[in-house]
C-alpha cells in the first residue's frame, strides 16, 4: 500500500492519455489495423461500473485493477488522510473473507498486489495468471461493499499510517519543503493538502470516519475496472457482470464537486533549512490547466513545453545549465497533466561547484523567458514530439503501466476516445502554441519558489 508518486513517470508520461499507440501502432488511425481480438474494449454495466479491457497476449499474465473516483482532494476539511487511511483498511477483511485471506490467496498463486492513493483516485490491483482472474474479481467485488471494520483493526492501522508519515515526510527535508510549497501554491483547493494527510488530523481519524467515507464513495457507479493482459473481452464481460454487476449503485453519490482555486496574483517563496541538507536545491511552481480543464490544445502545448524546457538531457535546461554553463548538477521541468482540476507546472535545479542557487534559478528563469519571448524552432519541436511519442510506444511493453494509464485517465475526466486521439493532438501542436503557453502561464509574478537550504552555522 502506498501513495501515488507526485509525478508518476513525469505525470504518467505527462498525461495518462498518452498510451493510445496500441500494439505499437503509430497513430490513432492505425488502431483500426489492430486485430479485433487485441483491440481495447470499453463498456458499462447496468449499475454504472465502467469496464475497460486491454488485451495483450504476449505473456500469460493479467493485471486486474479497480479504480475509485475519489482521492485526497475529495476529503472533507479536517479529515485529511482519510482516503489513504481507508486504502489501508481495505485489506482488513470481510465476513466472507477474513483478514489476510485475499493476500494469502494471491501469494499462493504467485501473484502480486498493491494499492495506491492519489489526489483524484484510489486504486487496487493484482497481477496474476489468467486462470485466477475470476478469483480476483470475486474477492475484490466482495470488499467493495463487505468491508468489516472494528476499533480493534482501525486503531492499530492508524498508527501504521502515522509511522508512514514519519518515515516519508517528517524525516525527509525535501518532503517537508514540498508539502509547504504545495500548501502555498494552492490557496483554496484540496491539492494543497498532502495525500497522506496532516499529522494532527491523521491522529484523530477513527472508525466512523472510515465507514462514512467507504459507504459514500465505494460504489460501482463511482468506479472503473481495468483488466489488461492475456484475456478475452467477452470472458471479462461475463465475469464482471457476474461478480461486480450484482452490486447496487449508490444513488446518493451526487456530482463530484470541489472548491475552486482563485486567480494567482502574487509571487511567493518558501524556505526550509535543515542540518541534513548537504546540497541546496530550488523549485518553482505554477498553477496551470490540466487536460480536464484546459482549452483545446493548451494541455498538449504544456506537455511539449515541459519536454522541451526540462524533459531530459536534450532539454534546454539541462543543455544550458548542466552541459554548457556547468552551474547545475541537475535541472528539469514537469507538467502534471493528469488531474481533475487545475494542476502544476514546475521547474527545479541544484547548483554545482562554486555556483550558487541564485545562479541556477536566474539561468532557468532566462530559459523560460527565451521561450516566452522568442519561441522554439521547428527542429526543436519535431525532436520533442518524436521523443515524447517514442517513449509512449516503449511504455506499451509494460502491461501494468497500460492499466495504470487508462485507469488514471478515466478517473480524471478523460475517456477512451480521448486516449485514442491523444497522439494526433500532440502531433498537431505548433510552435506558436508552446510560446503562447510559456508566456501565459509561466509568469514569475504568480509563482511559488521553494528553497531547500543547509542549516546556517550557529543556528539550531
- Pinpoint the alpha helices (H) of 63-191: 82-89, 101-108, 133-145, 151-165, 173-185
Residue pair 220/44 in contact by the 8 Å Cβ criterion: no
Give the DSSP letter of residue 31.
G
Nearest Cα residue to 329 out of 371, 287, 360: 360
Backbone dihedral region for residue 193 (phi beyond 0: left; psi -120 to 50: alpha; all else: beta): beta
C-alpha cell at 181: 510549497
The residues, ordered by sequence, that sit 6+ positions from 422 with a Cβ below 8 Å of its Cβ are 15, 17, 18, 20, 28
For residues 110 and 114, give the distance between their C-alpha atoms in angstroms, rounded to a whole number.
Answer: 14
In 218-337 the beta strands, taken as DSSP E runs, fall at 223-229, 268-274, 281-288, 328-335
For residues 129 and 198, give the distance between their C-alpha atoms in angstroms, rounded to a whole number.
Answer: 39
C-alpha cell at 282: 530550488
DSSP 170-206: IT-HHHHHHHHHHHHH-SSSGGGS-TT--HHHHTT--
Residue pair 56/133 in contact by the 8 Å Cβ criterion: no
For residues 262 and 70, give the distance between their C-alpha atoms in angstroms, rounded to a whole number.
Answer: 22
Query: Is 87 a known active-site residue?
Result: yes
282 pairs with which residues across the strands? Answer: 349, 451
Residue pair 68/79 in contact by the 8 Å Cβ criterion: no
3-class secondary structure per residue, 50-70:
EEEEEECCCCCCEEEEEEECC
3-state secondary structure at position 264 = coil
The owner of cell 497481477 is: 127
The owner of cell 483547493 is: 189
For residues 337 and 341, give the distance between their C-alpha atoms in angstroms, rounded to a whole number.
Answer: 9
For residues 10 and 430, give the distance between their C-alpha atoms in angstroms, rounded to a whole number.
Answer: 22
Q: How, if at all, do strands 112-117 and 2-3 pair?
A: parallel
Q: Which of 37, 50, 75, 87 is catalytic?
A: 87
Q: Catalytic residues, which ones?
A: 87
Amino acid at each position: 500500500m502506498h501513495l501515488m508518486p507526485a509525478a508518476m513517470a513525469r505525470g504518467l508520461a505527462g498525461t495518462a492519455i498518452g498510451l493510445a499507440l496500441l500494439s505499437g501502432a503509430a497513430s490513432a488511425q492505425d488502431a483500426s489495423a489492430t486485430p479485433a481480438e487485441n483491440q481495447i474494449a470499453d463498456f458499462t454495466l447496468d449499475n454504472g461500473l465502467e469496464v475497460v479491457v486491454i488485451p495483450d497476449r504476449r505473456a500469460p499474465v493479467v493485471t486486474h485493477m479497480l479504480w475509485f473516483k475519489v482521492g485526497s482532494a475529495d476529503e472533507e476539511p479536517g479529515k485529511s488522510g482519510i482516503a489513504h487511511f481507508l486504502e489501508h483498511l481495505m485489506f482488513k477483511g470481510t465476513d466472507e473473507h477474513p483478514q489476510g485471506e485475499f493476500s494469502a490467496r494471491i501469494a499462493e498463486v504467485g501473484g502480486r498486489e498493491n494499492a495506491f492513493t492519489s489526489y483524484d483516485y484510489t486504486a487496487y490491483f493484482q497481477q496474476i495468471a489468467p486462470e485466477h482472474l475470476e478469483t480476483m474479481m470475486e474477492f475484490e467485488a466482495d470488499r467493495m461493499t463487505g468491508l468489516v471494520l472494528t476499533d480493534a483493526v482501525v486503531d492499530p492501522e492508524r498508527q501504521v499510517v502515522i509511522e508512514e508519515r514519519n518515515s516519508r515526510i517528517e524525516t525527509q527535508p525535501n518532503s517537508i519543503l514540498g508539502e509547504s510549497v504545495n500548501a502555498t501554491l494552492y490557496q483554496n483547493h484540496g491539492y494543497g493538502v498532502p495525500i497522506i494527510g496532516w499529522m494532527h488530523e491523521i491522529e484523530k481519524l477513527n472508525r466512523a470516519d472510515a465507514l462514512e467515507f467507504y459507504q459514500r464513495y465505494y460504489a460501482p457507479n463511482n468506479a472503473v475496472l481495468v483488466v489488461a493482459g492475456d484475456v478475452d473481452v467477452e470472458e471479462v464481460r461475463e465475469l464482471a457482470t457476474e461478480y461486480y454487476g450484482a452490486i447496487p449503485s449508490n444513488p446518493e453519490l451526487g456530482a463530484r464537486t470541489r472548491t475552486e482555486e482563485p486567480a494567482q496574483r502574487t509571487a511567493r517563496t518558501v524556505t526550509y533549512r535543515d542540518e541534513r541538507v548537504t546540497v541546496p536545491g530550488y523549485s518553482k511552481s505554477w498553477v496551470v490547466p490540466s487536460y480536464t480543464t484546459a482549452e483545446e490544445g493548451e494541455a498538449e502545448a504544456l506537455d511539449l513545453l515541459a519536454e522541451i524546457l526540462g524533459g531530459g538531457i536534450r532539454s534546454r535546461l539541462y543543455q544550458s545549465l548542466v552541459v554548457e554553463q556547468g552551474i547545475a548538477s541537475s535541472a528539469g521541468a514537469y507538467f502534471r497533466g493528469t488531474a481533475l482540476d487545475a494542476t502544476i507546472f514546475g521547474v527545479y535545479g541544484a547548483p554545482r561547484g562554486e555556483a550558487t542557487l541564485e545562479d541556477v534559478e536566474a539561468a532557468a528563469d532566462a530559459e523560460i523567458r527565451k521561450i516566452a519571448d522568442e519561441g522554439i524552432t521547428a527542429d526543436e519541436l519535431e525532436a520533442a514530439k518524436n521523443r515524447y511519442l517514442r517513449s509512449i510506444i516503449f511504455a506499451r511493453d509494460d502491461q501494468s503501466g497500460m492499466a495504470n494509464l487508462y485507469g488514471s485517465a478515466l478517473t480524471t475526466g478523460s475517456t477512451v476516445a480521448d486516449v485514442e486521439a491523444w497522439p494526433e493532438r500532440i502531433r498537431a501542436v505548433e510552435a506558436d502554441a508552446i510560446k503562447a503557453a510559456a508566456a501565459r502561464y509561466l509568469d514569475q509574478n504568480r509563482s511559488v519558489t521553494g528553497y531547500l537550504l543547509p542549516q546556517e552555522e550557529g543556528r539550531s
